[in-house]
Structure 1
């Protein structure tokens, strides 16, 4: 099979511009519950940066905001209200424009670092802008990482399991190989932002870039503990990005961006399958 491989999937370390909430838990932001337009509440700037990181709010001069963290004020203005409404609509929450407990609860859930796409397809899945995709279906991947053998073995198992799941429903064949050039660095585990925040991230075709957060308590067990993140579920999700799918708003979909500790989401839902068929056609 290796002789027929005509395209290398180079999955490498990519430092995306993401600014998720740092150092906060849902409990620590509990005082924001009920905040609404017209108020000034300490901590709202963290929500603004969160919404900016995942595609709901632009921090620039046109909105009177700044990318400088210190310059973002704790004022609940119309821009924040619209961003919260968009976030609530995207995840099937009650669209109020207020920071209710349900909205904050979703925000505080560990998630993928890839931005959400507002213009979801019907009904839930999304494709990247321009619908980028691979021109061939035989892809190889490599793993380069300085982590321990135990973590590397977990990653190898997670990737193999995730690739097999996508292979069941697509024309893709994935095989582990060796880098053919200095640019083919491979999948990496590195520090992103600490545990229980951004779990992993990746980019659309045809870059093939993926990374995992070394600070997470990763598990590959069938029943992870509530303090563990299932690496197989995360790997399967990131592979979906690699082949061209954006985030789904369906909570049962592999491409749903949030994943709590102890939760497994390894099998493609019909929404995931519909999305990949929309991009590549049926096998």
Structure 2
């Protein structure tokens, strides 16, 4: 039971496409640029929470972010634990490994992203499908007004994965018998969680209805490309975690107004490593 709960919590954390710092709070944190070990700067606790959420920093009493009444000074202290976590983050995303909160590191942290990072990776236990033909359907949350757009996004994503892997996807009915069930609903408002999904063999995928979605080849600067997000989430559904390669569909950061619809070699290598070559 404990193992199953741990896996579920890991899935919830790792699969959310989120904007972890940017938004109402990050403008007030830009003064952190240049911060380094030995300083105490108001707002560093937000960086600690960010790095903890993505596996670079373990929060405990020794670093002043426990659930007790630790002082603000302790919470905002730039100690060796934080320096080591920042170096880990910088190394993982091919940044200059300084251990400081330089501008390039803060820029990456401010970018909308999806959960955990590594080179192509898998979920704990490497769950995967025992078949290559998967059916999908849309649940009752998908209204006729958004069905065409969502259907196009998913079909385009499925075709991209089919083109390079052994997977075939076909629309099926009803949802109780389909491998993949796709929905859309209000998650947390615009600009935070874009979509979430579960790994094999749960086959659940949901988009945030509050986002400004586009299916155009060139979305506007304030629009999120639904095709790119659909393609990314399909990768999770078949068992892939994230990649540190910026060109990969499974790269966890995503910008409004941009598209990333084509699988990179890293995405393909990940599927082959999990399932074998076709």
Into which bin does the TM-score normalised by the smaller protein fall?
0.7 to 0.9
Matching residue of 1:80? 82
Q: Is the CA contact (8 Å cut-off) linking 1:179 and 1:185 kept in structure 2?
A: no
Aligned equivalents of 2:147 and 2:28: distance in 1? 34
The answer to whether the aligner puts 1:152 opposite 2:152 as a matched pair is no
1:7 counterpart residue number: none
Cα RMSD for the two superposed structures: 2.9
Q: In structure 2, how many angstroms separate the alpha carbons of the residues matched to 1:264 and 1:22?
A: 20
Structure number having the greater helix percentage: 2
- Written as runs of structure 1 = structure 2, the 5 A alignment for 1:38-49 is 38-49=38-49
Distance in 1 separating the partners of 2:130 and 2:69: 41
* Matched ranges for 1:130-145 at <5 A: 130-144=125-139
SS at match of 1:187: strand
Paired residues in the alignment total: 263
8 Å CA contact retained: 2:90, 2:96: yes
Give unmatched runs, 5+ long, in structure 2.
1-9
Does residue 1:188 correspond to 2:190, yes or no?
A: no
Q: Residue 16 of structure 1 corresponds to which residue in structure 2?
A: 12
- Native 8 Å contact 2:242 2:251 kept in 1: yes
Structure 1 residues not aligned, in runs of 5+: 1-13
State the alpha-carbon separation in 2 of the partners of residues 251 and 134 from structure 1. Answer: 27
Moved more, 205-214 or 186-195: 186-195
Secondary structure at the counterpart of residue 80 of structure 1: helix
Q: Deviations over 1:90-145 (max 9, x none)?
A: 11011111111111111111122x322xxx4xxx3222233221111111122225
Deviation of the 1:71 alpha carbon: 8.2
State the partner residue of 2:229.
234
| C-alpha contact (below 8 Å) 1:167/1:173 kept by paired residues | yes
1:159–1:236 Cα contact (<8 Å) kept: yes
Relative to structure 1, is the Cα distance of residues 228 and 165 closer, same or farther in structure 2, using a 3 angstrom cutoff? same
Give the distance between the partners of 2:23 and 2:45, measured in 1 at CA.
Answer: 14
1:265 alignment partner in structure 2? 260
Q: Distance in 1 between matches of 2:63 and 2:174?
A: 44
Is 2:160 aligned against 1:175?
Answer: no
**How far has the Cα of 1:247 moved from its partner?**
0.8
CA contact (8 A) 2:191 2:211 kept: yes
Q: What is the distance in 1 between the residues matched to 2:25 and 2:258?
A: 19
1:19-41 Cα shifts (integer Å, max 9, x gaps): 83374365442111111222222
User: In the alignment, does 2:68 pair up with 1:32?
Assistant: no
TM-score when normalising by structure 2: 0.83
- 2:106 matched residue in structure 1: 104
Q: What is the aligned partner in structure 2 of residue 95 from structure 1? A: 97
Rounded to whole Å, the distance in 2 between the matches of 1:134 and 1:184 is 10
